[in-house]
Amino acid sequence: MPSITTVVAQALHTAATILRRDAPQDGMVFRELWELVLARKPRLEADWLQAVDESGQENNTPFKDYVNRNATNLVKAGWLYRGARRWQLTGIGVDALARWPDPVDFYLDACRRYRRWERQQQFVSVAMTALEQLPDGGHWVALEELAAEFTVDPDVLGPVLRGARTPGWYLALGEDGQAGAGLPMWPFERDQWRTLLDEEGLLDQGRSSLDTVRALPDRRMPVWEALKAAKQPLEETEADEDAPRQLWIVRGVDAATGVPLVRGPWRDDSKVTLDTGFPPPTAAAHNLDSVRRAVESALPATGPARREAVARELDAFLNRMRKGDIVLSTDGFETYVGVVDGPAVHTAERLERPVDWRNLNKPLDFLKDLPSGLASVVQDADSQVLEATEYAETVLALIGDMPRTASLPTGPAVLPDATPELAEALHMPDTTWLQDCVELLRATPQLIFHGPPGTGKTFTALALARHLAGASSATNVRLVQFHPAYAYEDFFEGIRPRLGAGPDGDTGGGLAYDLVRGPLRKLADEAERRPAEVFVLVIDEINRGHLAKIFGELYFLLEYRNERVHLLYGSDDGRGFRLPPNLYILGTMNTVDRSVAYMDAAMRRRFSFMELHPDTPPVAGLLDSWLRRRAEEQGGDPDAYDDSHARLLDEINRLLADGSPGDRSFRVGPSYFMQDLAHTGDGALDRLWKTQIIPLLTEHHWGDGTDVEAVYGLPVLRARLNIPSPADVGSADSADDSADDPANQ
């Protein structure tokens, strides 16, 4: 079943593809474009209705309007321009289509770029105002310089200007006056830029060509002069209606009395405050780096870890918190909720924000009303300001305030039951065993398949994972493999070196170090953002890794999904990290390497275990059933199929059982006999025996004196089971043919 995210992604990706092919220059009226989208994808509206119905959330917005609104993500990414009700794809959007052919990847990357713009939108707005108010007479500014002045990322500001096209957008150019500032352009965009610069008297005819448009270098205006004309103060505006409201937990206690401030001045004066103990940075410190510099200057003797924590709290309160966000604070078990009503105000030793408190006369009960996950965040006493946006709609519902419509469904995710189709794909007789797996995951979201080699553990885990994730399995399922050198930094997150950029943009700037997310962190972050979808991490050979070293502090979270821990590298921004409830882990474990009985007790407690063993269902009899079905598919008689492969497998496992009657950890699974190698061409079984079966058994009997060829050799087993070799069958056929030849009569 497709999710809401998937359906919207398909609609937007299809629209962008149509614009690229059918309307590259003039764009297209949205009404006409929408008809073409539905003609190309006729099931979209039905999938939308089904996805909304399955999500359980109320959504009365027509699908067409919902898609139009979510196209804002593409506009802020600079991929799409919407003007006069027409949609027009930009050169940046064409490049994005080429880089992200998958609709979900395309849409999610646009959403990520939207969020980057969202975090910097206040200062992007001021930069745009500076462009609008450039003095008459024909001047341009360098995009890099403009972005640096307002501490905006150039790769955020440049695309937003292309998507929004506010007055003067075309006057932000590259350092040498080049139109586009290095970003992809369509030919018609280049022609448009040439016309606009020519009208301003800025076009440098001598340095412009068919492929390049440049402005006159002597008409470049320093940004500081442009700022003289930009009179707009750094005032905070409400966030876009499309953006979800953030939830902030803010704590404050009166230093003299120890009484929570929400009982006194916060309540009386309709505000929240953040005490710093030193003159806090002003609104000019409009990003984390500038706040860090202010904190380092004010607290030179404080340790770096504490300075970083203070800087992140100040940045959250000063820059990331927005008008319209939700604030939560507690007085004992009484919990108060309010809505931020304006920008931060600087006083001598604190920052203040106006807040409209909504439930002063009817506080929520901390223990009874708040969800347990939010309660655990609220109890974290390490920070004065914490973000807990994933609980925003829950809190708003508790106080009867309607939130903005979020762009993604809110969950909870639901695991689907096992189906006969899944059982058939795994060659299982029915869904009983698979449904047991689903029920175990519903109770404990970690499950390990264990058993001897060749029993289909990895194949089963991946098939089940894709079934659980449904239509989003391409993005919501990830496979990793543990090994002895695998570590926490590989699995979750760690510091990674890279070559830094030199002054000329090359890689001659020495080493730089980044905190890089691993597969679990990436999947967990996506699961947190999309709580209505199922995400599955498949860990192959889970027992081959040093589990305590790989999981680190995450061990605790495997058992306590509603709790939070502080991460090793501090990337949780002081609010703690949790494993989302919609993230499931499937592991595979080869019992030849390590028995379940010898696993760490903490690991056994955190995982459920399901065995795949040749002696027990669903593996027992699987090869025989597979051979019968294969014969039927090839047009043969299913009751007269060749069962020699199944008999050979049973004989191997009988010999292994007789040799170690109390040890079930080593048997041979049917997968070896279900691969093409065992059935393709003359001598197929002999090749399988020589390259896979004998080496496997040799390793098992290493050092115990067993003559593996004498016990398990293919000729030996064939003779014991009266299975003729292909050569014997060929000789018999030749003899029969010879007997029938009249010349021999």
pLDDT grade for 545, boundaries at 50, 70 and 90: confident
**Which residues are bridge partners to 346 per DSSP?**
351
The two tokens of residue 570 are 């501090």
**Which residues are bridge partners to 86 per DSSP?**
29, 83
Distance in angstroms (rounded) separating the CA atoms of residues 679 and 672: 11
Q: How many CB atoms lie within 10 A of CB 307?
A: 17
Distance in angstroms (rounded) separating the CA atoms of residues 386 and 377: 8
Q: Is 576 exposed, middle or buried (0-12, 13-18, 19+ CB in 10 A)?
A: buried
Report angle CA 182, 129, 228 to the nearest 5 degrees.
105
Distance in angstroms (rounded) separating the CA atoms of residues 632 and 546: 46
Q: How many CB atoms lie within 10 A of CB 393?
A: 20
Residue type, 145: E
Q: How large is the C-alpha radius of gyration of the chain? A: 33
Lowest mean pLDDT among 230-244, 301-315, 610-624: 230-244
Distance in angstroms (rounded) separating the CA atoms of residues 745 and 740: 8
**Which residues are bridge partners to 535 per DSSP?**
583
pLDDT for residue 136: 65
Residue with the two structure tokens 């061990």: 555
pLDDT for residue 727: 62
**Which residues are bridge partners to 364 per DSSP?**
335
Distance in angstroms (rounded) separating the CA atoms of residues 509 and 355: 47
**pLDDT tens for each residue of 635-672:** 766 666 788 888 898 899 888 888 777 677 788 989 88
**Which residues are bridge partners to 271 per DSSP?**
354
Q: Which residues are CB-contacts of 233 (< 8 A; sequence separation ≥ 6)?
A: none
Query: By the 8 A CB rule, do 353 and 345 touch?
Result: yes
Mark 88-107 as b/e (b = at least 16 C-beta within 10 Å): bbbbbbbebbeebeebbbbb
**pLDDT tens for each residue of 56-90:** 655 567 888 888 888 888 999 999 888 766 888 99
**pLDDT tens for each residue of 449-468:** 999 999 999 999 999 999 99
Q: How many helices (H) and strands (E) does the chain have?
A: 33, 20
Distance in angstroms (rounded) separating the CA atoms of residues 677 and 688: 6
Q: How many CB atoms lie within 10 A of CB 741?
A: 9
The two tokens of residue 202 are 């800025």
pLDDT for residue 417: 94
pLDDT over threshold 50, residue 350: yes
- Asked whether the CA dihedral 84, 90, 92, 94 is positive or negative, the reply is positive
Share of residues in the chain with pLDDT > 70 (%): 85
- Asked whether the CA dihedral 178, 183, 186, 188 is positive or negative, the reply is negative
Mean pLDDT across the chain, nearest whole number?
Answer: 81
Report angle CA 536, 541, 543 to the nearest 5 degrees.
110
Question: Stretch 128-139: mean pLDDT, rounded?
Answer: 73
Query: By the 8 A CB rule, do 294 and 151 touch?
Result: no
pLDDT for residue 529: 78
**pLDDT tens for each residue of 697-706:** 998 888 888 8
Per DSSP, 320 falls in state I
Mark 440-470 as b/e (b = at least 16 C-beta within 10 Å): bbeebbbbbbbbbbbbbbbbbbbebbbbbbb
pLDDT for residue 405: 39
pTM, to two decimals: 0.51
In angstroms, the Cα distances linking 111 to 93, 250, 310, 659, 735 are 13, 28, 29, 60, 74
Q: Which residues are CB-contacts of 243 (< 8 A; sequence separation ≥ 6)?
A: 118, 404
pLDDT for residue 409: 57
pLDDT grade for 235, boundaries at 50, 70 and 90: very low
